[in-house]
Amino acid sequence: MSSPQSYRPQVANDLTGRVALVTGGGTGIGLMIAQGLAAAGAKVYITGRRVEVLEKVAAAWDRQIGGEILLLQMDVTNKTSIAVAKKIIEEKEGKLHILVNNAGQAGPTSPFLNNLSAPENKDAESLGTALFNNETFEGWADLYAINSASIFFVSTAFLGLLAKGSEDVAGYWSSIINITSISGQIKVAQEHFCYNSAKAAASHLTKMLSTEIALKNIPVRVNAISPGVYASEMTVDVVTEDMVDKIGKGVRPVPAKRAGTGQEMAGTAVYLASRAGGYVHGQEIVIDGGYLTVNPSTV
């Protein structure tokens, strides 16, 4: 039986002593999560290709808030780069408790798709030809590499270290958190077929990883966060109320009438990584201000 003290949010969400790695942690949603994990007490390694971006974030973090933010250059689409980063974490920490697969890009778009007066939408032949000519196999492959395949390769590379982290406290397992998107669950293309289908793949990959890892009796939990409209490099730095629905490109407006906040994003990640979310396995938590509630989706 847990003590009354253990139910206090300060205890249930405390990440002191936990080691985390956040891919794409230098900007946008990744930065929100990295700062939230650090504020909860974790030592957080943020990764990305651009060292100068990571350096700026790490230098700006106030350790008086809590935790640490450290930089680690890694290209999530390159196996050699992933292996080098894994070796660094292994040598410095010997284990890992939290892996956030956040790195992603927007990819190929068809901006004429929602403009019914555009010549590309004149008839079936015009639409089909425009979509066919506007995008490439290479563009799709590149986006799937970072938005979907990277989750598989980064997760498998660090799986042993995550299992090692689960040995620290009985019943307190390490956690993989994949950042998917409502774009993978909405049934309209939002002008980017590739991005939406890649995010749908990431959602299903989350479930498969969770199941296969559990069936092998490996003590690592796998879950996902599916954000709606948030400020990021894929949208804009600041999302005002009048921009929310332009970015979301849904059939109906977002009920919350605003973008999500860093506090909401970070809080969800901290929940999944902490003791508070320790009984959550194979789930995808949607935080979208009601977007999927009023738009055609698969959930």
Torsion of CA 66, 67, 71, 72, to 10 degrees: -160
Question: Is residue 208 situated within a structural domain?
Answer: yes
Examine the pLDDT at 233 and tell me if it is beyond 80: no
Question: Is residue 296 situated within a structural domain?
Answer: no
pLDDT digits (tens, 9 = 90+) for 4-28: 555 566 678 999 999 999 999 999 9
CATH number of the domain that residue 130 is part of: 3.40.50.720
Question: Is residue 84 situated within a structural domain?
Answer: yes
pLDDT at 234: 59
Question: Is residue 234 situated within a structural domain?
Answer: yes
- Structure tokens, 192: 């980017």
Question: Is residue 241 situated within a structural domain?
Answer: yes
pTM as predicted:
0.93
94 residue type, one letter: G
Structural domain span for residue 221: 13-289
Residue 57 near residue 82 (C-beta atoms within 8 A): no
pLDDT digits (tens, 9 = 90+) for 61-83: 988 888 999 999 999 999 999 99
Distance CA 44, CA 36 (A): 10
Query: Where on the phi/psi map is residue 151: left (φ > 0), alpha (ψ -120 to 50), or beta?
Result: alpha
Give catalytic residue positions: 181, 195, 199
Q: How many domains is the chain partitioned into structurally?
A: 1
Question: Is residue 294 situated within a structural domain?
Answer: no
Backbone angles phi, psi at 282, to 5 degrees: 65, 25
Question: Is residue 2 situated within a structural domain?
Answer: no
pLDDT digits (tens, 9 = 90+) for 115-126: 999 999 999 999
- Structure tokens, 279: 């009984």
Chain centroid offset of residue 193 CA = 19
Question: Is residue 106 situated within a structural domain?
Answer: yes
pLDDT at 192: 94
